[in-house]
Amino acid sequence: MLQDRASDAIHEVTNFERRADVRDRYEFATPLEAAVRRHVQYAVGDFSNLLASTDREQSPDGNLTRFQALIELGRLDEALRAMPMPTNPHQRAIYCLTMSIAAELPSEGMKSHYALKPNTPSFVDERRTTLSLQASAFLPESPSFGGDESDRVNPPHWRELAAKYFSEGDDDDVLAAKLMRQIDPPGSEEIAAVEFQPEEKALFLTALSYAYPHKWKDYARAASRLNVEPVFPYHLLRRANGRPN
């Protein structure tokens, strides 16, 4: 509904702020008012303004919003610098799954920076090199996956890093790690046994769709059924699960 009437939704938020007598919606807005605007901006896909709302904010919430906006804008080099790294291994795994999926999709920010087509080897190599420099500094606990340093930012390595963090979590996390690492694609009963929140389950299924490409349609359909609430990573998953045959 919000996506179909984006301008109406933003207009209503603006009216809400005026009624609350907000002089500067970013600097002086209360946490509730800022949260309402950011929720609507994300829901309608207004990622540029969502990112702009974090310009003067250094709080954890502001940094998380910055990461989410950069992911949706395809600016992965910047997103990696902003990616939160909480102490909770489950949340670390979720962020790594997010990066694995974003790295599978065309990156508009990097494409415009290099002015190259995203599928050309030179684009891919330079993109990985740039991201690897950030990954080496930002993820000091990353396991050594072997190969070139730039390989650490390949989607399979983000999935392996997610599995590593899942393996340090609770029973559901450990099961998720096992399913991500097994040779055969997980069946519906195995996946059903992993009790995640719907948006996290959709993220997990989408990551599986890339890990087991011959089963991607089944996993993508299952993920799409769970990806219904317009909160991050809703738009990322819509793009990933709507990819062509």
User: Domains of the chain: which residue ranges?
Assistant: 1-57, 76-241
Take residue 14 and report the two structure tokens written for it. 């603006």
Q: What is the pLDDT of residues 23-79, one digit of tens each?
A: 454 554 577 888 899 999 999 999 999 999 999 888 899 999 999 999 999 999 899
CB 16 within 8 A of CB 24: no
Residue 234 clears pLDDT 60, i.e. is over it = yes
Distance CA 189, CA 2 (A): 34
Q: What is the pLDDT of residue 4?
A: 55
Residue 86 clears pLDDT 80, i.e. is over it = yes
Q: What is the pLDDT of residues 165-215, one digit of tens each?
A: 999 999 999 999 999 999 999 999 999 999 999 999 999 999 999 999 999
pTM: 0.76
- The whole-number average pLDDT for the span 225-238 is 97
> Which amino acid is residue 138, in one-letter code?
F
